[in-house]
Structure 1
């Protein structure tokens, strides 16, 4: 099973255990490690995850380095923007009132025929048009 994971879910892998849906996020990570699923992410995923910890946490630079190392060791498949993805992302952003960043996750999932897991309310509001968008709470 291929899934696209937005950064908000991966952030939970390193966050306090009292956050909502940490168990679901950790289950995704475990299934990636065991090979049961393949996680696909746009290249900006890494920047978003690290930025969250640099700007909004009390993590020090060693912690940030550890997070970076863990992310790369997970073997996530990275999708780099090409003409098709940027074109599709732009259309999705324009029609859905989303940022180009959020739209890129949708475009990647669409192009890979994958399920996009998120807890982002704006992305979730697009489920009617893009039924492959799934709330993290529904990951089993």
Structure 2
């Protein structure tokens, strides 16, 4: 219940990953809709809450592979400055066990792919956390 009350949704799914991978606006600046979707898929299918640097490297590599050299050069200083700040991942990534977090991330990703809005995503996260906490409580002696 504590976790469910901590988050206010900002954007579609950025709340579930947090600021540790980004900045999203810079990474997506020169991407078309299909490329943005692929970048989001890379992040949401490989991030486990503990491997931010690895996922960030994959995101940077992907963006570098699809933009022009001039475009990459224009965003690289912003990426370096932001990424040097070592922003924290979401509270979910920090507090939930990896297995539970990756299940939550996958559920949010699937819901987003099916057009869920922020209200539905918030409800999905709250329900997921409630069920996880209840399951853990019944499994704890």
**TM-score, normalised relative to structure 1:** 0.36
- Higher normalized strand content (fraction of residues): 1
Q: Which has the higher contact order (CA 8 A, sep 6+)?
A: 2
Greater Rg, structure 1 or structure 2?
2
Scaled by the length of structure 2, what TM-score is found? Answer: 0.35
